[in-house]
Amino acid sequence: MTVPVGAIKEVSMFLRDGLGFDHLKTVSGVDWIAKNEFEVVYFVGSLSKPGMEDFVISLAERVPRDDPVVPSLVDVWVAADYNERETHEMFGINFQGHPNQSHLFLPEDWNDLPPLRKDYVSPGR
């Protein structure tokens, strides 16, 4: 399911409170360099609603590569914390409202493009 960036907060609130999607699995980023877009995908499941354990919804949003700013969903799902931090450092996507966007895995003095962007080429390639 792809939603516009402006609506993701309301949609995620509705998923959590209205439909019972309370267990965030992971946050993934995809660099669609040909379309000049980043995609951020939240995978959310439900544990409290019986019969929904085998169901995962993917909540995606797309932002232009030149200005990648999306709202952070940490206050909806706390579990998004480290996943959003990782997506931030690996793609350079800015999660607005995230309490701490410092580097999680990369060295503090990383001085190059975010490494999972398609235009970053690993040394020796």
Residue ranges that bind another protein, judged by CB under 8 A: 22-26, 28-31, 41, 43, 47-48, 53-54, 56, 58, 77-79, 81-83, 90, 103-107, 115-116, 122, 125
Note whether 22 and 46 are within 8 A (CB): yes
Terminus-to-terminus CA distance in the chain, angstroms? 35
Tell the smallest beta-carbon distance from residue 68 to another protein (Å). 16
- Residue closer to another protein by CB (options 6, 22) is 22
Residue 47: how many CA atoms within 13 Å on its side-chain side? 4
Tell the smallest beta-carbon distance from residue 62 to another protein (Å). 13
- Residue closer to another protein by CB (options 18, 78) is 78
- Residue closer to another protein by CB (options 6, 17) is 17
* AA letter at 12: S
Cα of 22 vs its chain's centroid, Å: 16
- Residue closer to another protein by CB (options 6, 32) is 32
Q: What single string gives the DSSP state of each residue in 7-30?
A: GHHHHHHIIIIIS---EEEEEEEE
